[in-house]
Chains A and B, each alone.
Chain A
Amino acid sequence: MKEVVFFAGAIGALGGAIAVISLRNAFYSVLALIVHLISLAGLFLLLQGEFIAAAQIVVYAGAVMVLYVFVAAYVGNVDEPLWEPIPGQRFLAPLLGVALFTELGIAIIGSGLKSIETEGPTVGLGFGSPESIGRLMLERFLIAFEAASLLLLVAAVGAVVLAARRREGAGGAGPGSPPKVPGTGPPAPSPRSSV
């Protein structure tokens, strides 16, 4: 039973990952990433990380991916030019990926760690439950928790600064006017205000 769930999750996760990098449309890539994240949440459940799996679905596949979907719809499909700055990039890049996987595989299989060749020790019922994770987070890893919360605050302020509409000097991109598609219309005399 465990094997069936593992291979179903692994196929979903790997298929989603490959679809993310191979689909031409960015919107479909976002949807493929959602499939990947949900399959990964199943694998997290198999590893007895109940709270992490729930957070993965609620926070990642729910909230973060909604942000991606909105931006993908706002920006539209970006057509990637066929010109390559590095000749042969499209053959070299997968080759480097395969080389990296080979290296990691050798490291995993050849490692002397005995504990990764088993299913892991039997753990109690509360392993990975919100209660124990919260206890660890607020006692042993309090500094990491606080640093993460500070980082979230800084990121939120930064996002507001980056994405806010410029008020002064409303030339072509004034408040209320829809953003034009690049390349159409006259070059707007946009004041390069330093952000």
Chain B
Amino acid sequence: MDITWYLVLSALIFATGVAGVLLRRSPLVILLCLELMLNAGNLALLAFSRSLGNEDGQVFALIVMVIAACEVVIGLGLIVAAYRRRIPLNVDEFRKLRG
């Protein structure tokens, strides 16, 4: 399999994630779509790492996973905090940062 196939698949997944972020209104699903985009980036990193024959890309894929975990923790914390304060979970109404 050519590396090009992996890159095209990665572009497809990334475009799906972008469409999801623009389409959905629930913050939970938007976080899931961010995960999709990060994973598409991971796939591209691994594909380039394979095509160049060194492992630097794999190390960075691991770092991306760590950053994704941080993003998930903070994002889900925000969602739980908003739910506790009875703020409707809809990104169109999250415009003001002031409580």
Contact = CB atoms under 8 A, between A and B. Distances in A.
A116 B8 CA distance: 11
A30 B69 contact: no
Interface in B54-81: 55-56, 58-63, 65-74, 76-81
Nearest to A9: B9
Contact of B83 (A109, A179, A188): A179
Contacts of A75: 28, 79-80, 83, 89
B61 A49 contact: yes
Interface in A1-56: 2-3, 6, 10, 13-14, 17-18, 20-21, 26, 29-30, 33, 36-37, 40, 43-44, 46-49, 51-52, 55-56
A179 to B, nearest CB: 6
A164 to B, nearest CB: 9
Interface in B78-99: 78-81, 83-90, 92, 99
| Chief secondary structure at chain A's binding surface | helix
Contacts of B22: 89, 92-93, 96-97
A95 to B, nearest CB: 9
Contacts, number: 256
Interface in A71-96: 71-72, 74-75, 78, 80-81, 85, 89-90, 92-94, 96
Given A141-B59, A180-B86, A47 B16 contact: no
Given A67-B73, A116-B3, A159-B73, A133 B29 contact: no
A175 B29 CA distance: 28
Interface of A: 2-3, 6, 10, 13-14, 17-18, 20-21, 26, 29-30, 33, 36-37, 40, 43-44, 46-49, 51-52, 55-56, 59-60, 63-64, 67-68, 71-72, 74-75, 78, 80-81, 85, 89-90, 92-94, 96-98, 100-101, 104-105, 108-109, 113, 115-121, 123, 127-128, 132-133, 136-137, 140-141, 144-145, 148-149, 151-152, 154-156, 158-159, 162-163, 165, 173, 179-180, 182, 188, 190, 192, 194-195
